[in-house]
Amino acid sequence: MPFISNTDKERKEMLEAIGVARFEELLVNIPEKLRLTQPLKLDEPLSELEVTRRINCIAAKNRHSEAMNSFMGAGVYDHFIPAAVDHIIIRPEFLTAYTPYQAEVSQGTLQFIYEFQTLICELTGMEIANAGMYDGASAAAEALLMASRHTRKEKVILAGTLHPRFYDVIRSYTEDVGLELVIAPVKKGATDLDELAKLIDKDTAGVLVQTPNYYGCLEDMQKIDELVHAQKKALLIAAVDPISLNVLNSPAEYHADIVVGEGQALGNKMNYGGPLFGFFASSFSLQRSMPGRIVGGTLDLDGKRGYALTLQTREQHIRRAKATSNICSNQSLACLAATVYMCLMGRKGLREIAEQSTIKAHYLAEKIGKLNGFEIAFDQPFFKEFTVKTPIPAKELIDKLVEKDILAGVNLAETGMKNGLLIAVTEKKTKAQMDELVKALEEVNNG
Amino acid sequence: MPFISNTDKERKEMLEAIGVARFEELLVNIPEKLRLTQPLKLDEPLSELEVTRRINCIAAKNRHSEAMNSFMGAGVYDHFIPAAVDHIIIRPEFLTAYTPYQAEVSQGTLQFIYEFQTLICELTGMEIANAGMYDGASAAAEALLMASRHTRKEKVILAGTLHPRFYDVIRSYTEDVGLELVIAPVKKGATDLDELAKLIDKDTAGVLVQTPNYYGCLEDMQKIDELVHAQKKALLIAAVDPISLNVLNSPAEYHADIVVGEGQALGNKMNYGGPLFGFFASSFSLQRSMPGRIVGGTLDLDGKRGYALTLQTREQHIRRAKATSNICSNQSLACLAATVYMCLMGRKGLREIAEQSTIKAHYLAEKIGKLNGFEIAFDQPFFKEFTVKTPIPAKELIDKLVEKDILAGVNLAETGMKNGLLIAVTEKKTKAQMDELVKALEEVNNG
Amino acid sequence: MAKTIFEKHSQGRFGYTLPKLDVQGDINSCIPEKFQRKGELPLPEVSELDVMRHFIELSHLNHFIEKGFYPLGSCTMKYNPKINETLVRNAGFMDVHPMQPQCTVQGALELLYELQNDLAEISGMADVTLQPVAGAQGEFTGLKVIHAYHKFNGNHHKRKIILPDSAHGTNPASCTLAGFEVIELKSNEKGKVDIEELKSLISDDVAGFMLTNPNTLGLFESQVEKIAELIHSVDGLMYMDGANLNALLGIVQPGKIGFDVMHFNLHKTFSTPHGGGGPGSGPVGVREDLVKFLPVPMVRKNDDGTFYLDCSHSDTSIGKVHSHYGNFSQNVRAWIYIKMLGAEGLREVSRNAIINANYIMHKLNKYFHVQYDEHCMHEFVADGSWQKKLYDDPDKQIKTLDIAKRLLDKGFHAPTVYFPLIIHEAMMIEPTETESKETLDMFINAMIEIASEAKENPELLKDAPFTTPVRRLDDVRAVKVLDVKFQDYMKIKEED
Amino acid sequence: MAKTIFEKHSQGRFGYTLPKLDVQGDINSCIPEKFQRKGELPLPEVSELDVMRHFIELSHLNHFIEKGFYPLGSCTMKYNPKINETLVRNAGFMDVHPMQPQCTVQGALELLYELQNDLAEISGMADVTLQPVAGAQGEFTGLKVIHAYHKFNGNHHKRKIILPDSAHGTNPASCTLAGFEVIELKSNEKGKVDIEELKSLISDDVAGFMLTNPNTLGLFESQVEKIAELIHSVDGLMYMDGANLNALLGIVQPGKIGFDVMHFNLHKTFSTPHGGGGPGSGPVGVREDLVKFLPVPMVRKNDDGTFYLDCSHSDTSIGKVHSHYGNFSQNVRAWIYIKMLGAEGLREVSRNAIINANYIMHKLNKYFHVQYDEHCMHEFVADGSWQKKLYDDPDKQIKTLDIAKRLLDKGFHAPTVYFPLIIHEAMMIEPTETESKETLDMFINAMIEIASEAKENPELLKDAPFTTPVRRLDDVRAVKVLDVKFQDYMKIKEED
Ligand SMILES: Cc1ncc(COP(=O)(O)O)c(C=O)c1O
Ligand SMILES: Cc1ncc(COP(=O)(O)O)c(C=O)c1O
């Protein structure tokens, strides 16, 4: 058998040492009738060569962004990733280690998490960040739970412009624990601030706003800050695109109490949507309510600096039913990729990526806005993503463009905009690729 | 600039420390008129993303054995390589180290070379192996030089069934140093032993025979052993396919004095023919005439086992013009791949690969032999490769089959067989792929 | 210790190249000033070489499977095949967006479909969702399914989940998150579910029972049928924490012995690497009538052989627990693993895992106390109680932690310690099937050495480790002088 | 030390899987018995995990660029960009056979064609062959070209190559291999070619002159034009050993300052990794009238934009030095490197390499003797003569070797030592452009520390290294008790 080390001879020796004649004797505790009598019904085992061929054949049935002209976004983005990132995360030293439970032989993992936390704090302007969550959506859900825990209130308000997948996960995470979800209405692609103001009251634990929001529009976080914090009643939770923070306001600037977001865009491939990872940061004052692992610096017996898991009394292995979250394994390696990525790009590189994405997105929006039949849906500032009103249902349009090897964007039908198409542009898009999209859209309208 | 660490500020500080105002002052020793006044005429620099796209585009213009049904061989083979091999050789610990000049911080490299030497000795049955040569061809050339050095004679005999590329390189290596190359005639795809017997005389330094030979046929090495060693006059140099040694006689069985061969088939990709590597082994008695690096076990100051370069007085950095070879950098990483490969496959795996290749090759030969118009060229035992007489010139046939995504084999026209096609079969070929070739050949003849 | 990357910063240095912007425009004309970040981001500026050296230096500070034995109980630290890492890096997987039209992701869907089915077969469940990304999220998902089932049946009062006191911490935590009340059941003198005690807890508001089987002591719960009968008698559902499935492959199908819901840890049983803490994958299997509650979407096959994402059960489904389809690339790895092993191979996995564990237990139980001294499954729990008793002086008293730290000096990772909570000074040892007898023997010898060091040279344990990149770390200081980012460290240094 | 893989062997264990044989047949019916190997091969039997652990353990014993500074003079140990390693692993490169029809390898040919041209431009040569796989093979190839040139002109008597005594060992060795007689020229008091001395050696049988420029002392041979004039006056050819080209990129084109033939070391100047000793790549560039002597084939472009392998110069060509087209995958890496840097980037490489070297030299020349104390190019040679003079007692006398070994303790690789031969106790230091000032400063400090240790604590040098995986090794024993394979070791152990 592949991957099994012992030989028949060794197995025999071991059984003898144990003092049993046959392996089955070790199963005494499993009542006979509970045991399988038939082999499992699985395919015949494949050798490495066969499985390689099978996988290559399966993968070839997927069409991907290196072979198509893709404008897909909505939280998962195809940003440039330097090759060096993968050369780090593939190292078995990182890849095949467990959670750093024995700190003395896990300093590599612990230190990169500490650096990750630092980078997330730098990016968001917050004071404390954890070692990462499952994805942006569950991070947002946990942020709401945390707000409720911290404020001891049950009502939470979600911007109606939130990513629907965030909403779905939030609903799963909150519906059985008594949280009341209130959706703030949308106006012209952004949160209706007047309506939001009305919704916030003394029972409000937190307000979650995503910016750029699902439609790509920037929310007026300064105003929202004022509304939420007016009487210091509720916590402001911002869900952000980490790449955007290189040109857009840091959440600290608008006094977010908790900042979450989908981190994939930081150095992780899209991988059909997983692994993703959520980042999670807050002010120091909320530290005891935080979910997830946190690494802290400390000293060893000789007074040398080292790192260890800290604030563990929040966690499930100690607090069990009363823990701040059930999270145990997280998305560590994806956070490592993000850490390496941020270090490689540095302040200048991340800024350049954010600027290029912005400028290219605006170039494309302008071109599409001028096309017959097409219209930029909202007159709001945007970052690298924007909504287009399409002359035919977005679904049809998307299908037509697939035939031209173009992935035109995300269909917004489920938000009620049957003719809504969400287009994302990263620095990877060339002018030629954008012009190709424009031409294809034009042809759709004409033909 | 990518890959350059210092910033303008640091450069300035350093120039100040050196005591010059401008970089150019450091170039005082280069007469002005020798300096370039224009920038080099090279393409505009490409960013990582651009160069990635360019490379992908170039690579896509190559057709390869994963996308075609390939029967190419003639020394470079598409054998199965476990994925683990690449995960070792990509490690910067091995990849970015230099030649192990400082033994104390190069034990990783030194030990794997020691293990490589051991494995080559085990494979060939010889007593001493070096750390590898540039390729099989140059290894063969150096073996002839060594034979000449050792015997102080100048005539060397090459089997006429030798790989023509081996012959080419041997010619380059030997023609200006006074070696006389004599080619032994070929009979029915193998060395004509009667003729060979006549050629060997007291002036003969060595006889080089390749088995399996270029046509795929096995040479009668027992007989050749007798001829060469009859009066202990000359050295027998065997050039072998390392994979074949898992089923065919070890060179020690037929008393080869020197064994060389192309090592690529051991765990290295084909890479359009490079890196290859030559292995080189001999009896102990020839050790002082050996070319190339050799690693030996020894002890450190504390009496602990360790490894170091040994027998260095043979080498260019010490013996200069009188060295046994000019080789300095070799193909070390390719030898590492071979070492890892041989360990993974082990005795059972290598045997299985050799057997499967043999049996499949014989299956295919039988099928092709029965085709109208085709004929197995030689009635000789063969291993995984055989020569077919084709009804139309091999070149035409090959070109026709390319259109069907088949790489039919190697054209033997330069050996004088315009209608000779050399077909190689490895364990990777499936019955279906072989049957596809048979069908395509049939169609060529019919159409 | 290694410097942080922040200490390697040099203004103006960089480690990337990007194409030049090929369209006109500038940021100020795109983004109104008020939305623009004030001031420069304080990220480090370093070269690619700096980055490589930094993270390679860090990597060398870790213990990891390919360095040495990793007998971390409950974590199934088996070898992670290299072929997985190679194949998962296919552009046809890596560069696929989760919201692409389904006609463009048929390969991904085929693979997920097969994995759903294979896991269902392995577990004896009717169907499996691949959406949860970790064991704990699997638990949450499974518990939500249980919740949904009771709500669907109008049984809103069913809000209690019973679980043994030996359960992993995520079990009670997941119950809370899923809106359940946790009732902890004391284990019996054999370390197993106490049936009489359980009977006393059974009532109509019991929603279900969560059991790890083999349990966290490495013992198979032989009474599982009886337990299931009791729970089912009040229409409760049986949840299995499948963290220990490595003991049961091809031997027992949980779905056929009374369990209604279970999660898998693909990062344990199915060889996907743990990555220093994740990503994992925690699929959930359920019995037939619970399939309608599983998260949306499921992958289904059309009659024409194509595949699609099925949301047709949206109204009964618990919804979603992940933005997309879970940790796809981990699922690819697990698929490869299952395909390479097949039915026979998987059974061999469990057979060898069980033999290895029993072998170590048998060799060590003369040196370390093993509370439940019956044949174990794939792991067992020893403890440090004999060693603790050696010295009365609390300063000298040897704890399991000391034994664990001493093991690090000998080149091994420590077992899982202080879990399960019901064993004092617990050491949970899980060798997995990928380790050879030689390795086990080396570990056994190291443990025996430590047992004798405890008697003859206790400081070697109390002060251990000596040979690791850092010595024993001050956990208390880590909490008291909170330093969770580089800026904190700078401040603390200044204040000192 | 690490066990050998042979000591991990366990009969019957294995680390591979293969498809089942899908045709009928057995080996005995294919291969007559007399041709079959007798007995089983003694190769080790281990698992994939054993193999991974083994080679990872070995890997951790190495110094390497991504671990730390590697100032090995003459070897240009610059950072090897990761993108090269990623891109070269494209199946369109890896899985291509060298004898495929040319229409199926147009991408490979295009790339090689461009690299030929780019290297020609960089060197100012008319054309470049990519066939030689190492510097020494490049030398051999270039010398063969020189030989061919003279033979072509009927000058069979031209059999002498002059080269300075500072030349690398491969230079004279390659001369011998190419059938030349070597005449060593003593360097002058400035470490450079002594023109007067050279004049005295000039005669009609001189075939050429081999010069490393900058020379192995890191000094530019300012008199190169004069040298060329002298050599050309007897129809000799000027060969440049391009090992030190990292100093000249975009600054000097060797082909324009008198050189007729030169080789490149792509594994030095052009960032291809050295792999613990190779594979490298040693292309050779020549002036216009020598192109016809280059190895076959060259890559040429058709009018229709396609590429082909050109053997049209077969009769004049020196033939082949490699079975196929050289180290293709190293050439791909070099191509990528050149394309990413462009003209300006390459000039920056040399600029920074030169500044770095001068900076170290300037900082160290108060502590270590530097014989030729002028501005250096990309490297310089210091020596241990001051340290050697500290103690008279030969047992205590400090040698450059001791300094080198002590550097290992401080986490640096040692410089190249005892080369060039003309400097006693030489230490050749080459920082390369990819190292930062911080790293250089750390190295400088380490060297200064060693200089003071030499005075105050000489045993620290004599007994160094202390912190490496093994202590100083007994080279003499390695020769005397020859142990070049595991079976030798077993025998020696038995005999002991
Ligand atoms: C028994 C048991 N249950 C649940 C879990 C939680 O799994 P995860 O870490 O994947 O969330 C673990 C993991 O350690 C475990 O051992
Ligand atoms: C000056 C000089 N010439 C030639 C060579 C030989 O190059 P290679 O090792 O690639 O054969 C070297 C390599 O060390 C060198 O430094």
* Beta-carbon separation of C17 and B9 below 8 A: no
Give chain C positions within 8 Å (CB) of B48. 16-18
Q: B445 and chain D: CB distance < 8 Å anywhere? A: no
Question: Is residue B258 within a helix (H) or strand (E), and if so which, with residue range?
Answer: strand B258-262
Pocket lining for ligand 1, CB < 6 angstroms = A 328-329; C 74-75, 134-136, 168, 170, 212, 216, 241, 243, 265, 280, 282
Q: How much is the pTM?
A: 0.98
Q: In the prediction, which pLDDT does D395 show? A: 87
Q: In the prediction, which pLDDT does B264 show? A: 98
Q: In the prediction, which pLDDT does B113 show? A: 98
CA D168 to centroid of ligand 2, rounded, Å: 7
* Beta-carbon separation of C67 and D47 below 8 A: no
To the nearest whole Å, the CA of B332 is away from the closest chain C CA by 22
Q: Are B155 and B180 in contact (CB under 8 A)?
A: yes
* Beta-carbon separation of D19 and A84 below 8 A: no
Residue of chain C whose Cα is closest to the Cα of D50: C66
DSSP letters of A5-74? ---HHHHHHHHHHHT-SSGGGGGTTS-GGGS--S----PPP--HHHHHHHHHHHHTTB--TTTSEE---T
Q: What is the mean pLDDT of chain A?
A: 96
* Ligand 2 atom 16 nearest Cα: D74
Ligand 2 probe mutation, D74, D166, D170, most atoms within 8 A of CB? D170
Q: Which of C13, C50, C95 to mutate to test the interface with B (most CBs of B within 10 A)?
A: C13
Give the C-alpha separation, B276 to C275, whole Å.
Answer: 35
Closest ligand relative to C275 C-alpha? 1
Q: Would you call C224 helix, strand, or coil by DSSP?
A: helix
Residue of chain D whose Cα is closest to the Cα of C18: D340
Q: Which of D89, D436, D467 to mutate to test the interface with C (most CBs of C within 10 A)?
A: D436
Give chain B positions within 8 Å (CB) of C87. 83
Q: D323 and chain C: CB distance < 8 Å anywhere? A: no
| Residue A232 confidence (pLDDT) above 80 | no
Give the C-alpha separation, B271 to C44, whole Å.
Answer: 39
Q: In the prediction, which pLDDT does A289 show? A: 93
Q: Would you call C107 helix, strand, or coil by DSSP?
A: helix
Ligand 1 probe mutation, C74, C76, C211, C272, most atoms within 8 A of CB? C74
The dihedral region occupied by C335, where left means phi > 0, alpha psi between -120 and 50, and beta the remainder, is: alpha
Alpha-carbon distance values, C464 to C393, C395, C426, C427, C453 (Å): 18, 14, 18, 17, 12
Give the C-alpha separation, A276 to A269, whole Å.
Answer: 9
Complex-level ipTM: 0.98
Q: 3-state DSSP: chain B helix, strand, coil percent, rounded to 5?
A: 45, 15, 40
Q: Are A213 and A162 in contact (CB under 8 A)?
A: yes
CA D148 to centroid of ligand 2, rounded, Å: 23
Which string of b and e fits B49-82 if b means at least 16 CB within 10 Å?
bbbbbbbbebbebbbbbbebbbbbbbbbbbbbbb
Give the C-alpha separation, B402 to D269, whole Å.
Answer: 39
Q: Are D432 and D271 in contact (CB under 8 A)?
A: no
CA D243 to centroid of ligand 2, rounded, Å: 6
Q: In the prediction, which pLDDT does A130 show? A: 98
- For the segment C437-453, what is each residue's pLDDT rounded down to a tens digit? 999 999 999 999 999 99
CA B427 to centroid of ligand 2, rounded, Å: 39
Q: B31 and chain C: CB distance < 8 Å anywhere? A: no
DSSP letters of D400-442? HHHHHHHHHHTT-PPPEES-STTSTTEEEE---TTS-HHHHHH
Pocket lining for ligand 2, CB < 6 angstroms = B 328-329; D 74-75, 134-136, 168, 170, 212, 216, 241, 243, 265, 280, 282
Q: In the prediction, which pLDDT does B314 show? A: 87
Selection from A275, A308, A256, A392 nearest residue A106 by Cα:
A308
Q: A285 and chain C: CB distance < 8 Å anywhere? A: no
Give the C-alpha separation, A40 to C249, whole Å.
Answer: 9
Q: Which of residues 211-240 of A touch C (CB under 8 A)?
A: 218, 222
- Residues (pLDDT < 70) of chain B are none
Would you state the structure tokens that stand for residue D396, as one six-digit string?
């205590």
* Beta-carbon separation of A7 and D13 below 8 A: yes
* Ligand 2 atom 8 nearest Cα: D135
Average pLDDT for A383-411: 97
The label of the residue with tokens 């941020």 reads A342
Q: In the prediction, which pLDDT does A322 show? A: 87
- For the segment C468-487, what is each residue's pLDDT rounded down to a tens digit? 999 999 999 999 999 999 99
Phi, psi of C158 (to 5 degrees): -80, 95
Q: Are B118 and D485 in contact (CB under 8 A)?
A: yes
Q: A413 and chain C: CB distance < 8 Å anywhere? A: no
Phi, psi of A14 (to 5 degrees): -70, -45
| Residue C298 confidence (pLDDT) above 90 | yes
| Residue C284 confidence (pLDDT) above 90 | yes
- Residues (pLDDT < 50) of chain D are none
Ligand 2 probe mutation, D265, D327, D378, D419, most atoms within 8 A of CB? D265
Q: D47 and chain C: CB distance < 8 Å anywhere? A: yes
* Beta-carbon separation of B5 and C12 below 8 A: no
When pLDDT is cut at 50, 70 and 90, the band that residue A318 belongs to is confident
